[in-house]
Structure 1
Amino acid sequence: MPILLAFAEPPAAVAPAATAPVLRQSFVVGPNWVSSPTAKDYADAYPAATAGEPADGAARVYCTVTDAGELTACEVKEESIVGQGLGQAVLALAPKFKMAPLSMDGQAVGGKLVELYLRIRPPPPSPPPGVRLVVHPTWVARAAGVDAAKYYPVRALRMGVEGDATLQCGIDAQGLLANCVITCEFPKGSEFGGASLALSALFQMELVDKDGQSVVGGMVRLPINWRLPR
């Protein structure tokens, strides 16, 4: 259930003089995600170890959005480490994403591009004994791209660095996240972990998840991907 932040539309292409205009698809600004991969989906998509080294990195994929908000015709654009299957893992996860037909600002998303920049990491350890892992929460409040602009680490912004972090949080009696800890940060020392901790206060879930079970006292893992405006 990755949270994708800081979506923005890239500048329009400039055509050379005396040539036909360059046509290009625009990007979805502020997608309204209605479904995204679960922790199990990430575990299932995790690539097999290569040369004895577990895959641990990120990949950038561009997809075309259908009128129904599904992702199609996805292409790998970048892998932080080549040869670990990171791009293929993101391609496997892409069909699990779906957005509403209209973006946050009311624009139709059909026919536009969306970028998925996802971290692929080894599956996390199991939760402590007696603590339930909530994998299908219903969010009633969560951070959005506009929040990323406020919390984006200053040094990373100046250096043009993108990254991600994963939090492990408890869930209190109001469905708010509590006692969050950073379980993973990429790149290390980039301060995306601390920024994600700040964002965690903006999240709240229903007290009963999509499986019909109480979330109070459970644990949730929260991957957050940080991207620069484009």
Structure 2
Amino acid sequence: MRAALLTALAVAALTGLAPTHGRAADEPLAHPSYMQRAKSEDVAAAYPKAAFAQKISGDVDLNCTADAGGRLSGCKVTKEEPAGLGFGDAALGLSAKDRVKVKDDNGAAIIGRRFERSYSFLAPGDSNPDWLTKPSAGQLMGVFPVAARDRPPANARATIVCKVNEEGFLRDCKVDHQTPENMGFGAAALALSPLFRLKPKIRGGKPVETEATIPVVWAGFENMPMPSGPVKSLVLDPPWTSTPSTAQVRAAWPADAKGAVTGQVALRCNLNKTGGLTFCSVLSEIPTGKGFGKAARSLSPNFRVAFAPDQVKTLSSYTVDVPFRFRDPASPDTRKITAPKWTRTMTPEGMALAYPRAAIKAGVKTGLGVVGCVVDIRGELTDCQVRHEDPVGLDFGAAAIEAAKLMAMNPWSKEGEPLDGLPIVLPIRFNWQEAAAAPPPAAPPAKKP
């Protein structure tokens, strides 16, 4: 099955989350535990007066090391938003209030290793992302890594970094780090992400998209009985051959959802022999009591997963998590495709065949064609129009249209929405490479005298 497979079963606990503003590169960062953090009154005292008077919030990232006493040292400002108002200097002053443990959760020394520390200075009415709802213990039971069940580690944890949009939905989640390593806790945290819903970041009184660091902690479960019996592999974001259309999702908006603007649901389903979903249960529903879970289940017969013929016998050994995001059909659809999952792209051979003859004759070895297309119910690109070509007059725009006809994306986003009807602007770069000279034919065998 062309999908990410995660082995499942489990329990977990969540801690607070933090904004992520910028990341220092070049070296692996340490992940210390804090014994002491700057208090709210310390932050208020350090708040730059001019910025506070103008009700301007500020965010700062520091890159620091720690001394033998756990004090932060050698701190450098890696990001300051907005710049020039004193937030960087204020954060450097606050770093003196922090203390970290001299060893991390793996027992490795922190001294001399660099790590990040973020500070936010919040004007009245502004806020950082925060939990709107957390999965219950029963929901979290579904992701404890099988590799850790025989000897559950104490205080296992993973941290994922996600984009949080203006509605508090997560996208583009990635594992930042996990402890212990190579036991599947990072993948388990990713499996939980469809269940999360956050209050969005507020700046200037308005929600804005941001990045947040979300820790998931499995603490206190090492002495609990672990699940037993056969384990099904959990599939996230599989390749779909069929999904509900945008019109079907809009039509499924619950009659009881008065006063709601959005709804979020996660289903966990089994697979039947045709790749369809069966025995779907509601893992998460936000808000509850508005009918969104029932609406999601009513749409589940429209899904089909792509699979190879030789996998029919093993489909029953998988479960699939399907996220849904419902939007009030009376509201305008302003969605944009940001990171499509391509299920079919051009091969190098196909790109060579599509390379414009006019460019070859002109001796031009590279070119760009930009097309604007609309995604259909199968995830294919239709109604493509040339937006730009470089160089002009050598048919790179027309070649890009031909290339787009052969491409397709997963028609259901990993965040839980149909993509049909949405526009996408696609730049396609063409590079010409001369075909390698064919080897000379083998000499015929010599005839026997």
Give the alignment's TM-score, normalised by structure 2. Answer: 0.27
**Of the two, which has the highest radius of gyration?**
2
Structure having the larger proportion of residues in strand: 2
